[in-house]
Structure 1
Protein backbone atom coordinates (compact mmCIF):
# COMPACT_ATOMS: atom_id res chain seq x y z
CA UNK A 1 0.00 0.00 0.00
CA UNK A 2 1.37 3.40 -1.07
CA UNK A 3 1.14 6.39 1.26
CA UNK A 4 -0.26 9.67 -0.08
CA UNK A 5 2.36 12.35 -0.76
CA UNK A 6 2.89 14.79 2.10
CA UNK A 7 2.01 17.79 -0.08
CA UNK A 8 -1.40 16.29 -0.88
CA UNK A 9 -2.14 15.85 2.83
CA UNK A 10 -1.13 19.47 3.51
CA UNK A 11 -3.41 20.77 0.76
CA UNK A 12 -6.36 18.74 2.02
CA UNK A 13 -5.79 19.91 5.61
CA UNK A 14 -5.62 23.58 4.52
CA UNK A 15 -8.84 23.28 2.51
CA UNK A 16 -10.58 21.49 5.37
CA UNK A 17 -9.42 24.14 7.89
CA UNK A 18 -10.54 26.99 5.64
CA UNK A 19 -13.97 25.49 5.10
CA UNK A 20 -14.45 24.89 8.85
CA UNK A 21 -13.44 28.46 9.69
CA UNK A 22 -15.72 29.97 7.07
CA UNK A 23 -18.62 27.76 8.19
CA UNK A 24 -18.47 29.07 11.76
CA UNK A 25 -18.60 32.73 10.63
CA UNK A 26 -14.92 33.45 11.23
CA UNK A 27 -13.63 36.58 9.48
CA UNK A 28 -10.04 37.61 9.08
CA UNK A 29 -8.86 40.59 11.08
CA UNK A 30 -9.57 43.72 9.07
CA UNK A 31 -12.82 42.36 7.62
CA UNK A 32 -15.37 44.87 8.93
CA UNK A 33 -18.96 44.92 7.83
CA UNK A 34 -19.66 48.39 6.45
CA UNK A 35 -23.43 49.00 6.21
CA UNK A 36 -24.89 48.27 2.76
CA UNK A 37 -26.04 51.89 2.52
CA UNK A 38 -22.36 52.93 2.51
CA UNK A 39 -21.39 50.38 -0.15
CA UNK A 40 -21.16 53.27 -2.62
CA UNK A 41 -19.83 56.60 -1.42
CA UNK A 42 -17.78 59.60 -2.46
CA UNK A 43 -14.52 60.60 -0.83
CA UNK A 44 -13.62 64.27 -0.48
CA UNK A 45 -10.77 65.81 1.45
CA UNK A 46 -9.19 69.08 2.47
CA UNK A 47 -6.27 67.86 0.31
CA UNK A 48 -7.19 65.43 -2.48
CA UNK A 49 -3.52 64.62 -3.14
CA UNK A 50 -2.31 63.91 0.40
CA UNK A 51 -0.83 60.53 1.29
CA UNK A 52 -3.58 59.93 3.83
CA UNK A 53 -6.35 60.61 1.29
CA UNK A 54 -4.79 58.17 -1.17
CA UNK A 55 -4.46 55.53 1.57
CA UNK A 56 -8.10 56.06 2.59
CA UNK A 57 -9.29 55.64 -1.00
CA UNK A 58 -7.27 52.43 -1.28
CA UNK A 59 -8.64 51.12 2.04
CA UNK A 60 -12.23 51.75 0.89
CA UNK A 61 -11.60 49.76 -2.30
CA UNK A 62 -10.03 46.90 -0.31
CA UNK A 63 -13.24 46.80 1.76
CA UNK A 64 -15.27 46.59 -1.47
CA UNK A 65 -16.69 50.11 -1.23
CA UNK A 66 -17.44 51.65 -4.62
CA UNK A 67 -15.85 55.14 -4.63
CA UNK A 68 -17.76 57.51 -6.94
CA UNK A 69 -17.69 61.27 -7.66
CA UNK A 70 -19.57 63.46 -5.14
CA UNK A 71 -23.33 63.80 -5.61
CA UNK A 72 -26.29 64.91 -3.46
CA UNK A 73 -27.83 61.44 -3.27
CA UNK A 74 -24.58 59.56 -2.50
CA UNK A 75 -23.11 59.20 1.01
CA UNK A 76 -19.89 61.14 1.47
CA UNK A 77 -16.76 60.64 3.54
CA UNK A 78 -15.00 63.99 3.96
CA UNK A 79 -11.54 64.12 5.52
CA UNK A 80 -11.64 67.38 7.47
CA UNK A 81 -8.00 67.39 8.51
CA UNK A 82 -5.01 65.46 9.75
CA UNK A 83 -2.09 66.31 11.98
CA UNK A 84 1.11 64.87 13.38
CA UNK A 85 2.37 65.77 16.85
CA UNK A 86 5.55 64.72 18.59
CA UNK A 87 6.79 64.90 22.16
CA UNK A 88 9.92 63.81 23.97
CA UNK A 89 9.58 60.78 26.22
CA UNK A 90 13.17 60.62 27.46
CA UNK A 91 16.48 62.48 27.10
CA UNK A 92 20.16 61.59 26.81
CA UNK A 93 22.58 63.00 29.37
CA UNK A 94 23.41 65.88 27.01
CA UNK A 95 19.66 66.80 26.95
CA UNK A 96 19.01 65.69 23.36
CA UNK A 97 15.89 63.59 22.76
CA UNK A 98 16.44 59.86 23.25
CA UNK A 99 12.88 58.62 22.74
CA UNK A 100 10.00 60.38 21.00
CA UNK A 101 6.31 59.74 20.72
CA UNK A 102 4.46 60.51 17.48
CA UNK A 103 0.68 60.98 17.46
CA UNK A 104 -1.25 61.05 14.18
CA UNK A 105 -4.78 62.48 14.38
CA UNK A 106 -7.40 62.54 11.63
CA UNK A 107 -10.83 64.18 11.71
CA UNK A 108 -13.52 63.20 9.21
CA UNK A 109 -17.24 63.60 8.60
CA UNK A 110 -19.64 61.03 7.15
CA UNK A 111 -22.72 62.48 5.46
CA UNK A 112 -25.64 60.18 4.62
CA UNK A 113 -28.50 61.61 2.54
CA UNK A 114 -31.84 61.75 4.42
CA UNK A 115 -30.07 60.71 7.65
CA UNK A 116 -27.58 63.47 8.47
CA UNK A 117 -23.88 63.77 9.13
CA UNK A 118 -21.60 62.74 11.95
CA UNK A 119 -18.06 63.89 12.69
CA UNK A 120 -15.46 61.51 14.09
CA UNK A 121 -11.80 61.70 14.95
CA UNK A 122 -9.21 59.00 15.32
CA UNK A 123 -5.66 59.01 16.62
CA UNK A 124 -2.72 56.64 16.57
CA UNK A 125 0.45 56.91 18.69
CA UNK A 126 3.86 55.30 18.25
CA UNK A 127 7.20 55.80 19.97
CA UNK A 128 10.70 55.38 18.58
CA UNK A 129 14.30 55.85 19.66
CA UNK A 130 16.18 58.88 18.34
CA UNK A 131 19.89 58.42 17.66
CA UNK A 132 21.81 61.49 16.42
CA UNK A 133 24.64 59.27 15.13
CA UNK A 134 22.34 57.55 12.61
CA UNK A 135 20.24 60.53 11.53
CA UNK A 136 19.60 59.33 7.96
CA UNK A 137 18.48 55.85 9.03
CA UNK A 138 16.25 57.35 11.72
CA UNK A 139 14.71 59.71 9.18
CA UNK A 140 13.75 56.75 6.97
CA UNK A 141 12.44 54.86 10.02
CA UNK A 142 10.32 57.85 11.01
CA UNK A 143 8.79 58.06 7.51
CA UNK A 144 7.91 54.37 7.71
CA UNK A 145 6.34 54.83 11.16
CA UNK A 146 4.26 57.77 9.91
CA UNK A 147 2.97 55.73 6.95
CA UNK A 148 2.17 52.83 9.28
CA UNK A 149 0.21 55.20 11.54
CA UNK A 150 -1.76 56.58 8.59
CA UNK A 151 -2.58 53.04 7.46
CA UNK A 152 -3.74 52.09 10.97
CA UNK A 153 -5.91 55.25 11.07
CA UNK A 154 -7.64 54.20 7.83
CA UNK A 155 -8.43 50.83 9.48
CA UNK A 156 -9.94 52.64 12.45
CA UNK A 157 -12.07 54.80 10.15
CA UNK A 158 -13.49 51.69 8.47
CA UNK A 159 -14.34 50.24 11.91
CA UNK A 160 -16.01 53.49 13.00
CA UNK A 161 -18.05 53.62 9.79
CA UNK A 162 -19.41 50.16 10.63
CA UNK A 163 -20.93 51.73 13.79
CA UNK A 164 -23.17 53.98 11.66
CA UNK A 165 -25.57 51.08 11.12
CA UNK A 166 -27.73 52.20 14.08
CA UNK A 167 -28.03 55.77 12.70
CA UNK A 168 -29.06 54.47 9.30
CA UNK A 169 -31.63 52.11 10.82
CA UNK A 170 -33.10 54.94 12.92
CA UNK A 171 -33.27 57.23 9.86
CA UNK A 172 -31.42 60.09 11.58
CA UNK A 173 -28.18 60.73 13.44
CA UNK A 174 -28.66 59.39 16.94
CA UNK A 175 -27.85 61.37 20.06
CA UNK A 176 -25.75 59.62 22.72
CA UNK A 177 -28.90 58.80 24.75
CA UNK A 178 -30.65 57.33 21.71
CA UNK A 179 -27.52 55.34 20.84
CA UNK A 180 -27.34 53.89 24.36
CA UNK A 181 -31.05 52.99 24.20
CA UNK A 182 -30.53 51.36 20.79
CA UNK A 183 -27.61 49.30 22.15
CA UNK A 184 -29.70 48.17 25.14
CA UNK A 185 -32.55 47.18 22.82
CA UNK A 186 -30.23 45.17 20.55
CA UNK A 187 -28.63 43.44 23.55
CA UNK A 188 -32.05 42.67 25.01
CA UNK A 189 -33.26 41.12 21.74
CA UNK A 190 -30.16 38.93 21.46
CA UNK A 191 -30.63 37.71 25.07
CA UNK A 192 -34.27 36.83 24.32
CA UNK A 193 -33.22 34.82 21.28
CA UNK A 194 -30.62 32.93 23.35
CA UNK A 195 -33.15 32.14 26.08
CA UNK A 196 -35.70 30.71 23.59
CA UNK A 197 -33.17 28.34 22.04
Structure 2
Protein backbone atom coordinates (compact mmCIF):
# COMPACT_ATOMS: atom_id res chain seq x y z
CA UNK A 1 0.00 0.00 0.00
CA UNK A 2 1.58 3.27 -1.08
CA UNK A 3 2.54 5.79 1.50
CA UNK A 4 0.31 8.81 1.82
CA UNK A 5 1.81 12.03 0.59
CA UNK A 6 1.51 14.75 3.13
CA UNK A 7 1.00 18.04 1.32
CA UNK A 8 2.44 20.95 3.19
CA UNK A 9 -0.04 23.75 3.26
CA UNK A 10 1.13 27.32 3.25
CA UNK A 11 -1.25 29.74 4.87
CA UNK A 12 -2.57 32.33 2.41
CA UNK A 13 -2.47 35.97 3.27
CA UNK A 14 -5.67 37.72 2.20
CA UNK A 15 -4.05 41.17 2.22
CA UNK A 16 -1.26 39.81 0.00
CA UNK A 17 -3.74 38.27 -2.46
CA UNK A 18 -5.70 41.51 -2.58
CA UNK A 19 -2.51 43.46 -3.29
CA UNK A 20 -1.56 41.13 -6.14
CA UNK A 21 -5.05 41.40 -7.67
CA UNK A 22 -4.96 45.18 -7.32
CA UNK A 23 -1.60 45.38 -9.08
CA UNK A 24 -2.81 43.15 -11.90
CA UNK A 25 -5.99 45.22 -12.28
CA UNK A 26 -4.00 48.47 -12.44
CA UNK A 27 -1.60 47.05 -15.05
CA UNK A 28 -4.48 45.77 -17.19
CA UNK A 29 -6.37 49.06 -16.88
CA UNK A 30 -3.26 51.03 -17.82
CA UNK A 31 -2.73 48.80 -20.85
CA UNK A 32 -6.32 49.22 -21.98
CA UNK A 33 -6.15 53.00 -21.51
CA UNK A 34 -2.84 53.29 -23.36
CA UNK A 35 -3.58 51.05 -26.32
CA UNK A 36 -7.31 50.37 -26.63
CA UNK A 37 -9.93 52.62 -25.01
CA UNK A 38 -9.68 55.92 -23.17
CA UNK A 39 -12.25 58.24 -21.66
CA UNK A 40 -12.45 61.91 -22.59
CA UNK A 41 -14.60 64.66 -21.13
CA UNK A 42 -16.01 67.45 -23.27
CA UNK A 43 -14.36 70.73 -22.18
CA UNK A 44 -16.34 73.19 -24.31
CA UNK A 45 -19.54 73.74 -26.27
CA UNK A 46 -17.90 73.45 -29.70
CA UNK A 47 -19.60 70.11 -30.49
CA UNK A 48 -23.10 70.93 -29.18
CA UNK A 49 -25.66 69.48 -29.40
CA UNK A 50 -23.98 66.27 -30.45
CA UNK A 51 -21.75 66.49 -27.38
CA UNK A 52 -22.59 68.67 -24.40
CA UNK A 53 -20.26 70.37 -21.96
CA UNK A 54 -18.91 67.79 -19.45
CA UNK A 55 -20.24 64.79 -21.35
CA UNK A 56 -17.84 61.86 -21.11
CA UNK A 57 -17.08 59.80 -24.20
CA UNK A 58 -15.27 56.56 -24.96
CA UNK A 59 -12.40 56.88 -27.43
CA UNK A 60 -11.15 53.94 -29.50
CA UNK A 61 -7.35 54.35 -29.60
CA UNK A 62 -6.67 51.20 -31.63
CA UNK A 63 -8.80 51.74 -34.73
CA UNK A 64 -6.43 54.19 -36.44
CA UNK A 65 -3.51 51.81 -36.11
CA UNK A 66 -5.16 49.92 -38.98
CA UNK A 67 -6.71 52.73 -41.04
CA UNK A 68 -6.90 56.51 -41.30
CA UNK A 69 -9.82 58.54 -39.94
CA UNK A 70 -12.85 58.74 -42.22
CA UNK A 71 -15.12 61.63 -43.10
CA UNK A 72 -17.86 62.25 -40.56
CA UNK A 73 -16.10 60.56 -37.64
CA UNK A 74 -15.64 62.44 -34.38
CA UNK A 75 -12.01 62.32 -33.31
CA UNK A 76 -9.85 63.42 -30.40
CA UNK A 77 -6.59 64.99 -31.50
CA UNK A 78 -3.64 67.02 -30.32
CA UNK A 79 -3.87 70.36 -32.15
CA UNK A 80 -0.87 71.82 -33.98
CA UNK A 81 1.17 74.35 -32.03
CA UNK A 82 -0.13 77.16 -34.23
CA UNK A 83 -3.67 76.60 -32.95
CA UNK A 84 -2.77 78.51 -29.76
CA UNK A 85 -3.69 75.77 -27.34
CA UNK A 86 -4.25 76.81 -23.74
CA UNK A 87 -2.80 75.05 -20.68
CA UNK A 88 -6.16 73.58 -19.64
CA UNK A 89 -6.94 71.93 -22.97
CA UNK A 90 -4.39 69.42 -24.17
CA UNK A 91 -6.63 67.79 -26.77
CA UNK A 92 -9.48 68.84 -29.05
CA UNK A 93 -12.53 66.93 -30.23
CA UNK A 94 -14.05 67.74 -33.65
CA UNK A 95 -15.70 66.11 -36.66
CA UNK A 96 -13.67 65.12 -39.73
CA UNK A 97 -15.12 66.98 -42.72
CA UNK A 98 -12.40 66.38 -45.31
CA UNK A 99 -9.51 63.93 -45.72
CA UNK A 100 -6.43 63.98 -47.92
CA UNK A 101 -7.28 64.92 -51.52
CA UNK A 102 -10.76 66.28 -50.73
CA UNK A 103 -11.87 69.71 -51.85
CA UNK A 104 -13.96 71.33 -49.09
CA UNK A 105 -15.87 74.48 -50.06
CA UNK A 106 -18.17 76.91 -48.32
CA UNK A 107 -20.64 77.39 -49.60
CA UNK A 108 -22.89 76.42 -52.52
CA UNK A 109 -25.95 78.36 -53.71
CA UNK A 110 -28.00 76.82 -50.90
CA UNK A 111 -25.38 77.81 -48.29
CA UNK A 112 -24.25 74.21 -47.74
CA UNK A 113 -20.68 72.98 -47.36
CA UNK A 114 -19.58 70.74 -50.22
CA UNK A 115 -16.96 68.01 -50.26
CA UNK A 116 -15.79 67.04 -53.77
CA UNK A 117 -18.92 68.71 -55.11
CA UNK A 118 -21.29 66.78 -52.81
CA UNK A 119 -23.43 69.06 -50.62
CA UNK A 120 -23.56 68.03 -46.96
CA UNK A 121 -26.96 67.92 -45.27
CA UNK A 122 -25.76 68.62 -41.75
CA UNK A 123 -28.72 67.89 -39.49
CA UNK A 124 -26.30 67.47 -36.58
CA UNK A 125 -25.48 71.20 -36.45
CA UNK A 126 -26.37 73.30 -33.42
CA UNK A 127 -29.92 74.65 -33.90
CA UNK A 128 -29.85 77.99 -35.71
CA UNK A 129 -26.22 77.72 -36.81
CA UNK A 130 -25.24 78.23 -40.44
CA UNK A 131 -22.84 75.63 -41.88
CA UNK A 132 -20.21 78.39 -41.77
CA UNK A 133 -20.13 82.18 -41.54
CA UNK A 134 -16.73 82.19 -43.28
CA UNK A 135 -16.22 81.27 -46.92
CA UNK A 136 -13.34 78.96 -47.83
CA UNK A 137 -12.09 76.71 -50.61
CA UNK A 138 -9.60 74.13 -49.34
CA UNK A 139 -7.96 71.15 -50.98
CA UNK A 140 -6.82 68.95 -48.12
CA UNK A 141 -3.17 67.83 -48.45
CA UNK A 142 -2.35 64.11 -48.27
CA UNK A 143 -2.05 62.82 -44.72
CA UNK A 144 -4.08 65.68 -43.28
CA UNK A 145 -7.72 66.43 -42.32
CA UNK A 146 -10.09 69.39 -42.30
CA UNK A 147 -11.90 69.57 -38.95
CA UNK A 148 -15.07 71.36 -37.83
CA UNK A 149 -17.14 71.48 -34.65
CA UNK A 150 -20.88 70.85 -34.83
CA UNK A 151 -21.55 74.15 -33.03
CA UNK A 152 -20.13 76.20 -35.87
CA UNK A 153 -20.62 79.61 -34.25
CA UNK A 154 -18.71 78.47 -31.15
CA UNK A 155 -15.92 76.33 -32.61
CA UNK A 156 -12.30 77.37 -33.16
CA UNK A 157 -11.67 74.70 -35.79
CA UNK A 158 -9.86 74.51 -39.15
CA UNK A 159 -11.60 77.70 -40.32
CA UNK A 160 -9.84 79.71 -37.62
CA UNK A 161 -6.38 78.56 -38.68
CA UNK A 162 -6.39 78.90 -42.46
CA UNK A 163 -2.97 80.57 -42.44
CA UNK A 164 -1.32 77.27 -41.44
CA UNK A 165 -1.68 74.40 -43.97
CA UNK A 166 -5.18 75.67 -44.80
CA UNK A 167 -6.28 74.85 -41.27
CA UNK A 168 -5.73 71.12 -41.70
CA UNK A 169 -4.16 68.83 -39.10
CA UNK A 170 -1.85 65.83 -39.58
CA UNK A 171 -3.44 62.40 -39.26
CA UNK A 172 -0.66 61.34 -36.90
CA UNK A 173 -1.88 63.83 -34.27
CA UNK A 174 -5.15 61.93 -33.84
CA UNK A 175 -5.47 60.05 -30.54
CA UNK A 176 -8.57 58.06 -31.45
CA UNK A 177 -12.21 57.96 -32.49
CA UNK A 178 -14.98 58.94 -30.07
CA UNK A 179 -17.53 56.17 -30.50
CA UNK A 180 -19.99 56.54 -27.58
CA UNK A 181 -21.21 58.89 -24.87
CA UNK A 182 -21.16 56.97 -21.59
CA UNK A 183 -21.83 59.68 -18.99
CA UNK A 184 -24.19 60.96 -17.82
CA UNK A 185 -26.11 57.71 -18.17
CA UNK A 186 -29.18 59.56 -19.45
CA UNK A 187 -27.12 60.62 -22.49
CA UNK A 188 -25.71 57.20 -23.35
CA UNK A 189 -25.59 56.59 -27.11
CA UNK A 190 -23.23 55.62 -29.90
CA UNK A 191 -21.61 58.25 -32.13
CA UNK A 192 -22.17 57.02 -35.66
CA UNK A 193 -21.19 58.67 -38.94
CA UNK A 194 -24.05 60.75 -40.42
CA UNK A 195 -25.44 59.32 -43.66
CA UNK A 196 -24.72 62.54 -45.57
CA UNK A 197 -21.07 61.46 -45.79
CA UNK A 198 -21.95 58.17 -47.53
CA UNK A 199 -22.41 59.69 -50.98
CA UNK A 200 -19.18 61.73 -51.14
CA UNK A 201 -17.24 60.72 -54.27
TM-score interval for Structure 1 and Structure 2 normalised by the shorter chain: under 0.3
**Greater relative contact order, per chain length (Cα 8 Å cut-off, separation 6+):** 2
Greater share of helix: 1
Q: State the TM-score, normalizing by the size of structure 2.
A: 0.24
Q: State the TM-score, normalizing by the size of structure 1.
A: 0.25
